[in-house]
Structure formats: C-alpha cells, structure tokens
Amino acid sequence: MALEKRDFDAVVVGSGPNGLAAAILMQQNGLSVLLLEAKSEIGGGLRSAELTLPGFKHDICSAIHPLAAASPFFKTLPLDKHGLSYIYPEIDAAHPLEHANSAFLCRSIDETAQHLGADERAYKHLMQSVTKNWPLIDADVLGPLHYPKHPLALASFGLDAIKPATLLAIKFKTKQAKALLAGMAAHSMQPITNMATSAIALVLMAAGHLQGWPIPKGGSNSIANALASYFTSIGGKIETNTYVKSLEQLPSAHAVLFDITPKQLLQIAGHKFSALYKWQLERYRYGMGVYKIDWALNQPIPFIAEACRKAGTVHIGNTLNEIRDAEQQTWNGKHPDKPFVLLAQQSLFDDTRAPIGKHTAWAYCHVPNGSTKNMTDAIEKQVERYAPGFRDVILAKHTMDTAQMEEYNSNYIGGDINGGVIDLGQLFTRPALRYSPYKTSEKGIYICSASTPPGGGVHGMCGYYAAKKALKDIFAIAVDGLKQSQTT
C-alpha cells in the first residue's frame, strides 16, 4: 500500500555527523528529506571559528578525526569532490613521559613497536591481529548488537576489547607501552579500570595503523560542509535557525529521526512514548564533561620530545597509573591536580589555521559532569611539564567549561561530548534496552544520535543504522550492507 502524501518522507532534527549521515542515506534511497538545525551553521561538534584572535581558526569541539577517515559509511561517499581534504601528520599521537623516552603511534606498526623496547614483540602481536581483522569487523564494532558476518574475527577482537585497559596493559612490561594504551583508553571518558575500555584503545590504534589520524584541512567544519554539500547535491533540503521544541513544529513526514540525546527527546516527544520507554530514557546516564582551551600561539609548543613536535595529537598524562588515578578521581566528582589532557596541534600541518609564523593549539581535560571549575591553570601546568616555556608563547586563549559546552551544543549534557556514558551497561543498550536501539516506542520516531550504538565520535554510524532501520520499517526499503549506499 502506498503511503499517504506528506510534506516530506523524512525529517531529521540535528545536523551533527549522525544527523547528516541519516539524512544522506534516506535521500540516497529515493526519499524527500528535510534536515533541520537549531544553530545558524550546520555541523554540531563539527564547527570551527576564530575564537581567540583574527586569523586564528580553532575547532570548537572535535579536532582530529581517525574515526571519520575509518567510517564504513563515510568511505562510501565522494566527500573529496565536495571539498573535504585530509592532512596526515607524520606521527598520529605522541605520549611524553617524565624520566623516560616518549611513546607514539604512527602508521607503521613496526616503527611504533620499535620504540617500545622490550614490548616490541608484544605490541606487534597485538596490533597485527587487530589490524588484520578490522576490515572484516569495522561495521560490526561500529554498530548495534547483532550477529556478525565474521564471528571468529569479531571474537578474536572481543577477547581483548572486553577487558579493562588496566588488565590489557598486563601484556606489556614498559612504561611506554602501558602509557600509550592508557592514553588511548582514556578517550572513553570513564575509569580505565572499567570493562571494555580496551575497545576504544584498540579501535583508535587500529585506525592509526590502517589510515592514520587525519586533520581536515581548513577546520573540522570542512567535514560537515562536505557532507551537507553532498546531501543537497542529491536533492536534500537543509534549514538552519530552526530550534525544535515540539513535534507540532515539524512539517508532516512519515519518519522523524532525532540527532539528540534522551533528555531532549523526552522534552520534545515524551508525551508520545510508552510508560516503559519513558522510564528507560529518564534513567539514561550521562558521563564526565570536558573543560576545553584554545590557544593562539607565537610559535609551536616547545615540547622537549621530538615525537611530540611532529604529532597531530599529544596525550599528556604521564604513566598508566597517573592516568588511571586522574580519570578515577574525575569519575568520583573530583578535579585532579594533574588531569589527563588531550592536545591537538592542527596548525603544524595545516597552514590555513593561523597567520604565517603563528600557531594554534587545542586541548581539553575531563571534569565531573556539570563542573564549572576553571581548569586552565591545571591544563597549562600539564603542558609545561613536557614543554617548558609553553606559557611564554601564548598570545591569547579561549576557554569553555561544561555549561558553555552545553550552551554551544545542547547534546553535550553537563559537558558530556560522548552523548552519554559508554560503559558496559550502556554500550549496546543505549539509550534503552530494545530489539532496535534506534526505534522509539512511537511509530515513525527514531533516535540517531551518539546516544545510540556505537556512541560518540565523528563516524556517522549511529545515523546510518538509525536511517537503515527507518527505511525498512516505514518505507519497506532494505539496505543490505554499506555497498548499496555507494555512489557513482
């Protein structure tokens, strides 16, 4: 039976990477799709601006994009033809240590392992297995819980991925290898003693070895702009400055997909949901927030370690034990004196980011959800540990606490940029325990944000799988694998 006429076949609310991915997949399959964005610019976490001084372009949220380059869905799109160009630093991520040589991640497994001393063999054994299997399991790992196409390969990955990072680190003997793993696992924004924190570490390291940790030329907004350009080129429509507060605001459509978290979804559509589904959404857990700084610099950061001066990303947290303790304190509602700091140096590789001879830097640390404590001094002291004289090269700075992060993007509840805790309890059941995590209890309403599997990160896979489900449910269109979304 043909569907009755509506203004649009589908409406997508929110233009972050997941909203864009959902809109694209539905438009690719012959539907008329409207994408709505509350702000004046599309992109969600993919925005860039002159936050400090004229001519210094900073990424407001996400900066380095291993998961965007590795995304099974984004790989099917001709984004290079829509203005997206990636720059690949010589070293993906460096990890300086006090009183010891630095560790670092680069494209070559052998080169990365050679600098880990006694752990060279153990690192090669671990990562050669992961990178060999990754092309077979990437869509399974970056997706909802389902029976995999390659169960043995996924099981091999899962045996290590399910472990706490502190337990996986037992494979290693050196401070360097343990610290490298801990820094990667800390991206999970939870104590690295938690189960499955090894998963994010292994995914990030595999991404580095397989295609690197790239920087989008011109700013992270280049990714959003390319996705939007492709979407409109195939007939999609985008409206900005449209803040959706209720379902009644929306034009009529057969399906509505929300790139928002459970908190906002309840406010907009909660009256339509079953009591059980509302109960589940109300108990959804948000995690640690972030405190972020952008600097305009007179020169590059004067890191002592050569690897840090060549790296797009620098993990500042010293040893595994120090990172473990800092993240645990933050999880417990405290503000460590020596927080784990994630730092990016885009202008070292992208000359569009700063005036000639000048530079930018981007960094954040984790803080308790909703914290408004100023962490500027703590972060800058951490950088100074490994780059004496750093403060002398600062021309200007711009800071954002958790409240300002949420004001910038309402999906960042309490400063949580992951859309909710990605621990074992919410890894595959986010935002609710259902046969499909993307389908709400109300027909035609779906959630496609980072609050669904696989969670945070610029990869678009939450949007892809939500749109795939809506296509099947509402329009009887089966998307069997990612190849069907490829364009000529």
pLDDT digits (tens, 9 = 90+) for 323-346: 999 999 999 999 999 999 999 999
Nearest 5°: CA angle at 469, between 74 and 61? 40
> How many helices (H) and strands (E) would you count in the chain?
16, 16
pLDDT in tens, 279-299: 999 999 999 999 999 999 999
pLDDT over 80 (residue 486): no
Q: How confident is the model at residue 484 (pLDDT cuts 50, 70, 90)?
A: very low
Q: What is the DSSP string of 290-330?
A: EEEEEEEESS----SSHHHHTEEEEEE--SHHHHHHHHHHH
CA 116, 118, 119, 120 torsion-angle sign: positive
pLDDT in tens, 408-434: 999 999 999 999 999 988 988 899 999
Distances (CA, A) of 360 to 97, 213, 298, 321, 351: 23, 18, 9, 30, 10
pLDDT in the model for residue 96: 98
Q: Find the mean pLDDT for residues 352-380.
A: 98
pLDDT over 90 (residue 145): no
What is the residue-averaged pLDDT of the chain? 96
Kindly report which listed range (84-88, 253-257, 267-271, 428-432) carries the lowest average pLDDT score: 428-432
pLDDT in tens, 89-131: 999 999 999 988 999 999 999 999 999 999 999 999 999 999 9
Q: What is the largest CA-CA distance in the chain?
A: 71
Please state, for a pLDDT cut of 90, what percent of the chain lies above it: 94
Grouping H, G, I as helix, E, B as strand and the rest as coil, residue 93 is: strand
Residue (of 16, 13, 9) closest to 35 by Cα position:
13
Please state, for a pLDDT cut of 70, what percent of the chain lies above it: 98
Q: How confident is the model at residue 485 (pLDDT cuts 50, 70, 90)?
A: very low
Q: Find the mean pLDDT for residues 304-317.
A: 98
Q: Which residues contact 332 (CB under 8 A, 6 or more apart)?
A: none
Structure tokens at 95: 């990890």
pLDDT in the model for residue 487: 42
Q: Phi and psi at residue 86, in whole multiples of 5°? A: -100, 145
Pick the more confident residue, 5 or 223: 223
Q: How distant is the alpha carbon of residue 324 from its chain centre?
A: 21
pLDDT in tens, 169-222: 999 999 999 999 999 999 999 999 999 999 999 999 999 999 999 999 999 999
Superfamily of domain 8-47+63-84+216-284+414-485: FAD/NAD(P)-binding domain (3.50.50.60)
pLDDT in the model for residue 146: 83
